[in-house]
Amino acid sequence: MIDALQVPAPLTLALYQPDIPQNAGTMLRACACLGVAAAIVEPAGFPVSDRHFRRSGMDYLDHVDIVRHVSFEGFERWRAEQGAAGIPQRLVLLTTGADMPYTDFRFRAGDILMVGRETAGVPAHVHGAADARITIPMRPPLRSLNVAVAAAMAMGEALRQMRENT
């Protein structure tokens, strides 16, 4: 029998400089439960020993494949190395600054879904590096969802699409 944790993840959730430990722990817990890999682009606004982070992630943090990158530039080098090794990974940015609804985007295996900082999103150079930018449509005048809720919605849609396409 194959251990589900040894099967390569079809999707990676990248947290760009997360600054609220409870949200980061919740997103990583969701990754563990859904079989999604994770990447953390530093600097994070808290240490991984933070009690709120550990409490939100519970013992699930031991069940998610997490790759840490010291900077966005390091993340991009890693992504380029993956592509050179025949593992292309599109960077799909979940942002309020996009026009394409996440349900209209066609996800595929190997995609990296990135969420920004809870307090500031991502800077312009990260927007520019993304292969696609998607959003969760909301009714006006509301602006945004909690980042962990938004990430879970987009991961669920991506995994649903990938399951249908296999």
| pLDDT of amino acid 57 | 52
| Confidence at 5, pLDDT banded by 50, 70, 90 | very low
> Mean pLDDT, the chain, as a whole number?
88
| CATH number of 18's domain | 3.40.1280.10
- pLDDT over 80 (residue 70): yes
| pLDDT of amino acid 132 | 98
| pLDDT of amino acid 4 | 41
Residue type (1 letter), 113: L
Tell me how far the alpha carbon of residue 149 is from its chain's centroid. Answer: 12
Task: Find the domain containing 127 and state its range.
Answer: 4-164
Query: For residues 39 and 69, is the Cβ–Cβ distance under 8 A?
Result: yes
Q: What is the pLDDT of residues 113-146, one digit of tens each?
A: 999 998 899 999 999 999 999 999 999 999 889 9
Q: How buried is residue 111: exposed, middle or buried, by Cβ count under 10 Å (0-12/13-18/19+)?
A: buried
pTM flag (> 0.85): yes
* Number of folded domains that form the chain: 1
More confident residue, 165 or 85: 85
Tell me how far the alpha carbon of residue 36 is from its chain's centroid. Answer: 9
